[in-house]
Structure 1
């Protein structure tokens, strides 16, 4: 039996074990974090791994070195993207691994982001830095995606913010990157920074929590005014919610003309605001607030090398305002947190030309579409400034009186499109006993106007009248079919326009979704599949797209997404972003891009529905006491159809046929009878506020355009039966 065993391993050499244990007994190396990064860390520069250099981002030296301070317990850094913020955390890791070993945790915003950080930043840094690689421990569990061990006693975990991970461990150094993308509350237990502080509390003065991010929380009050030199506007969460509680440091340059110190900010950039965005970017210059002289971007590297951080002190000047002092002056305001805020104009890896060009392009996009997402991105990640939503200001709110004033002079009767109209869209909101219908006429450069509004209560041609039940009765949806052939006269012409697209909101109780699917399939079989759309609103201000088509999904038992109706495409709408655009259009005057005109025919109830919601930090929500908001919802659906039909990008020198008042327009109908102010209602329909018009000959139906294999004849092929 003894012969079945292999030979025993040789005795371990105690000198080898001692050599491995010695780094843990070595006292902390007396160097700064930046010096440790220069000594031990390599960074990727244009595909080549080179020693870290402090002169590339000199504004990161002080924040990096203060991570090892025993006078403070936390550090918050707010700065633009690609400014060296994350590299500050990597420097802290190099310092902890080689100079002052200890337990450290780095938190990313999600599990996927944590894995991506390890794969593309941390692991390559360790692999290409000889000193870090030499300290990488070997053996089982010493080097995996979320946990790494180093000789000398350093344990590194790469985590994401959950209450379990922020409650179950004690760590000397806790790092958080992209902090503004963390949840505002971690599983209802509080903000991430407070939970991080609790993890490092056992280490007393040696414990440190560091978070960095570009600002992501919106500004709450545009009328806010700073009370101290480095005061911060109010936000609800994120790194700028932490900044006011710290030392309030800002980066200063000496003016190349007068030598006086000043903070370089986006507000001190001067450039021509009219004209091409690229020309504005090329002309951008910085103006000194003291001597009013300007200078170009070519001096940025030199000025950054001479720059310094100044913090608010606890002492006041002659005007009662806190003095600005260096961090080592001993006069910094009393707090246990360091806080830094770097404006994007001083960032090493972005030029003023690029920043100003992107900003002006974002302004042009906002004026053209009413969408603020690009503007928000430039302000947050480019300039490191909070963005104040233009739809949220009290002076920017839409009011009933303002809409009534705007409607004066627009005396078209209800149901008549203005002379500038080129196409029409129809929006349908599904209610418990009716379909609320809104009609919008569109013209050049996105100018539009609601031209009709009515409710369908009963089935057209039904022998016994009864109220519709769209949530329950699938056959009641047939009441919408005549809308596809209905037309509206164009002022001053002998033509009428049918809708190029019709949208139905799927939200509702009972069997609304199933009924909507059945109705859509019927319209597709009738050859109208390209005109009818089922819409679904998606909340949230951070949606990448405003409108997108997607098959409906459902969650399976394995928490994976699966298609439940592959033959249907839902038109999803980023409702919060679209409502921003709609409100901007309602405020715009006639002649401006995307202006929404209001007709005098609209009643106060209809106008009130435009004001039924207000914008908050997280999006749009109904005002207290408001019940109906169909007018607003109709314009949101109309804008979604306008975007999906590429109405924003029409070349009006050569518009598509459906946007012309010509004979080749498939949606244009020549009037055969005397035009009236009313539109032609479906026969037998009970339509609130509308009268049946004279009968007319319906245009021929379009040929069937359903998808192969989804209705119609079966295609014969191999194995077809």
Structure 2
């Protein structure tokens, strides 16, 4: 801006000289690159010439030998023979560098419009800040081509000299509709919704944006598998067919189906390096087992050490399926006829994944699953470290529950007797229209548990209105909830001991017929006034495997203003995760740590309830013609409450007071009656008024005949 000097009226000022006219030459210099023909250079060659990569904090030239298995897929993103490129593989295998190399080639060699689709707009912004812009700014040729205008450098829109434009967004209807784009890149597509705005998959919508450009258009997707196998009985019909599951592997199966191969350094035979071909001593700790892991050639049993992986990868190659069921290299012209070239890399070949680390993480997750029944860590390491799809145990043929199989697992435990290893008891209650269904579960220090009692409560308490002539109605009468009070007063003998255990805490379903939640809230408020909230918990379930955490204790919130909706704190649980735990615990025939042990006293109907649901990709669903599933729900409630109390944090060498063995246990009660010469038997605390109960000793025992 030019500032004019002050002057008197009528005085002619001396004005500063006007700035020079813009040079047409400078404008032309910026415009001419857009008229240049495309440079005939492959994506990998262009990356080596123009692109820098972050190598452990140091910006270095792109090196095709770092992740050799990414060279062919990267070059195919600029192919005129294919219109789609699919790459499935483990995390940190170099998939992101393939996308960056594609962008680099588009900026320098063949300018056009590119859309990069991320899981969310926030993750897209983070990727721009941490991956895209640092790469551009540290690559001189790419940095020189950045547009200089303010609108050229928006966080989600980048323009470059020569006509290249890069747009970054989320998989939304608006971002994937209405615009012709030459290149669409999907990153981590398996973490996106399978259907966008009820108009189809994100990949299908993205591919539409390139359709009118013919062979000039390209749609690329990469991801680690994130969806479970949908058919447990599947058997591969072709050499490289992937199991049936949604997402990236479904896209892969629709292409040429390429896999990465090595030639054995001893026998020279070609084979695919896979995690299941690693050998190690499973009796060692995960870290020790991983450190000694090696691979066996499937042809002649040749031993291949991890130190040979770099050389084998540099000499490795992709083989794709042929129409006759054979395998061939892509440039042979014999591969499956398709507009889509597809690749699937096993984590054992990934450059940045050591076999020691792969084995250690897998064995650690497997041990966690066996002990606690949580499949999440196991699925994560198989998906992201091995690059493979996951088949939940509950969906496998050998893992399917049957009444006959459960009956065979039942142990000779007496009903109403806690095993000698039991340290505390949890009661769980399911609310039905006219009764409470009660289950008592005994827990040990190592997470094993046994169902020791199961019964319904159908009669209303004598003090409830009209109790003599009706069934229990927990949705109508607050007084009917007092029928639960004796549960915490019951003492269960411990096998072989002269003491029994009272129930430490109770978990009850918060939902049911209209009115149940209101009556449950009022009942809980009474317990709070008596200082008993540490024993009474009401459960709200949350379905799906994407729920964060396993259980959390808090008041319910209103969605509108965030204020408490009810004056009660609820034990919120991830129901599907706990159902995974229940299923896994039932699958331990040895009855060891983490097992759920069933007694022979249980009826077939109670066992059948464990088979009432099946696991799907989104959660557990009811099987047809299976009306009851109380055994699953009650076991899940018990496990969730035990974990909330601290089950998974117990130190066997220094247990909490409620997990001690013997009469020092907070909930232990001496039950032998030497004067009568009788063995220990079930006893109940004498019923007294709740107010009086706070003042009197809780150890008054009345024996049952």
Please report the TM-score for the alignment, with normalisation by the length of structure 1: 0.88
Structure 2 counterpart of 1:254, from 260, 263, 266:
263
Is the Cα contact below 8 Å between 1:489 and 1:675 reproduced in 2? Answer: no
Alpha carbons 1:416, 1:679 under 8 Å: kept: no
- Conserved in 1, the CA contact under 8 Å of 2:543 and 2:619? yes
SS of 2:22's equivalent in the other structure is coil
Compare 587-596 and 240-249 and name the one that shifted more: 587-596
Structure 1, unaligned runs of 5 or more: 317-321, 685-696, 702-721
Cα deviations by residue, 1:110-165 (Å, 9 ceiling, x for unpaired): 12211211121112222222222221112242211211111111121101111222
Give secondary structure in 2 for the equivalent of 1:553. Answer: coil
Q: Secondary structure at 2:553's aligned position in 1? A: strand
Deviations 1:306-338 (A, max 9, x none): 111111123x3xxxxx22211111111111100
Q: Is the 8 A contact 1:551 1:563 kept in 2?
A: no
Whole-Å Cα distance in 1 between the matches of residues 87 and 332 of structure 2? 20
**Residue 72 (structure 1) aligns with:** 82
| 8 A contact 1:590–1:597 mirrored in 2 | no
Question: Is 1:355 matched with 2:358?
Answer: yes
Alpha-carbon distance in 1 for matches of 2:475, 2:683? 27
Aligned position for 1:690: none
1:338 to 337, 341, 352: 341
Q: Secondary structure at the match of 1:432?
A: coil
Query: For residues 542 and 345 of structure 1, what CA distance do their matches in structure 2 show?
Result: 27
Stretch deviating more after TM superposition (459-468 or 198-207): 459-468
Counterpart residue number, 2:212: 202
- Aligned match of 1:167: 177
After superposition, residues 130-209 of structure 1 pair within 5 angstroms as 130-209=140-219
1:516-559 Cα distance to aligned partner (Å, 9 max, x none): 343333323312222222222221224442223344222117xx
Q: Secondary structure at the match of 2:394?
A: coil
1:494-525: CA deviation from partner (whole Å, max 9, x where unpaired): 32211222112223343444443433333233
Aligned residues: 676
Aligned mates of 2:604, 2:332 — CA distance in 1 = 64
1:480, CA displacement in angstroms? 2.7
Cα distance, 1:460 vs structure 2: 4.8
- TM-score, length of structure 2 as denominator length: 0.90
Q: Shift of the alpha carbon at 1:416?
A: 2.6
Aligned-pair CA distance for 1:664:
2.4
Say if 2:231 is the partner of 1:221: yes
How far the C-alpha of 1:463 sits from its partner, in A, is 5.8
Residue in structure 2 matching 1:505, options 506, 509, 512: 509
Q: Kindly state the Cα deviation for residue 445 of structure 1 after the two structures are TM-superposed.
A: 2.2
1-side partners of 2:280 and 2:227: how far apart?
28
Query: 2:656 matched to 1:656?
Result: yes
Contact (CA 8 Å) 1:461, 1:683: kept in 2 or not?
A: no
Match of 2:646 in 1: 646
What are the Cα deviations for residues 665-685 of structure 1, in whole angstroms up to 9, with x where unaligned? 22112227667866649969x
Match of 1:49, SS state, is strand
Cα distance change on mapping 1:45 and 1:590 into 2, 3 Å: closer
Deviations 1:366-410 (A, max 9, x none): 111111111111111111111111121232122222233333633
1:437-488 residue CA offsets vs partner (Å, 9 max, x unmatched): 2111122422221122223331353363144433344454343334333322
CA–CA distance in structure 2, aligned partners of residues 119 and 590 of structure 1: 52
**Distance in 2 between residues matched to 1:566 and 1:271, nearest whole Å:** 55
Could you tell me how far apart the structure 1 residues matched to 2:426 and 2:394 are? Answer: 25
8 Å contact 1:419–1:492 — kept in the other structure? Answer: yes
Match of 2:474 among 467, 470, 477: 470
Residue aligning to 1:113: 123
User: Relative to 1, partners in 2 of residues 1:678 and 1:623: Cα closer, same or farther, differing over 3 Å?
Assistant: farther
Residue 523 of structure 1 is matched in structure 2 by 527
Task: Establish whether residue 539 from structure 1 lines up as the match of residue 543 from structure 2.
Answer: yes
Name the counterpart of 1:285: 294
Asked whether 1:666 is paired with 2:662, we answer: no
Q: Secondary structure at the match of 1:340?
A: strand
Is the 1:547–1:573 contact (alpha carbons within 8 Å) kept by the matching residues of 2?
A: yes
Q: Distance in 2 between matches of 1:269 and 1:170?
A: 47
- Paired position in structure 1 for 2:621: 621
Deviations 1:555-579 (Å, cap 9, x if unpaired)? 117xxxx241697543222211211
Asked if the contact 2:491–2:685 (Cα under 8 Å) also holds between the matched residues in 1, the reply is no
Partner of 1:310, secondary structure, is strand
Q: Residue 417 of structure 1: SS of its match in structure 2?
A: coil
Q: Does 1:406 align with 2:385?
A: no
The answer for the alignment partner of 1:718 in structure 2 is: none
Q: Is residue 130 of structure 2 the alignment partner of residue 102 of structure 1?
A: no
CA spacing shift, 1:273–1:222, aligned 2, 3 Å: farther
Render the CA deviation track for 1:290-320: whole Å, top value 9, x for unaligned. Answer: 2311121111111111111111123x3xxxx
| Residue 698 of structure 2: aligned partner | 699
Give, in angstroms, the shift of residue 248 of structure 1.
Answer: 1.0
Q: Check the 8 A contact 2:116/2:184 in 1, yes or no.
A: yes
The alpha carbon displacement at 1:589 in A equals 2.3
8 Å CA contact 2:489, 2:685 repeated in 1: no
Deviation at 1:89, TM superposition (A): 0.4
RMSD over aligned Cα atoms: 2.6
What is the CA–CA distance in structure 2 between the aligned matches of 1:134 and 1:566, rounded to whole Å? Answer: 61
Contact 2:152–2:159 (CA<8 Å) still a contact in 1? yes
Of 177-186 and 659-668, deviating more is 659-668
Q: Which runs of 5+ in 2 are unaligned?
A: 6-14, 689-695, 701-705
Alignment CA distance shift 1:663-1:437 (3 Å): same
Give 1:82 shift. 0.3
Moved more, 184-193 or 429-438: 429-438
Taking the aligned partners of 1:385 and 1:28, their CA distance within structure 2 comes to 38
Supply the distance in 1 between the matched residues of 2:632 and 2:683 (Cα, whole angstroms): 22
| Residue 492 (str. 1) matches residue 496 (str. 2) | yes
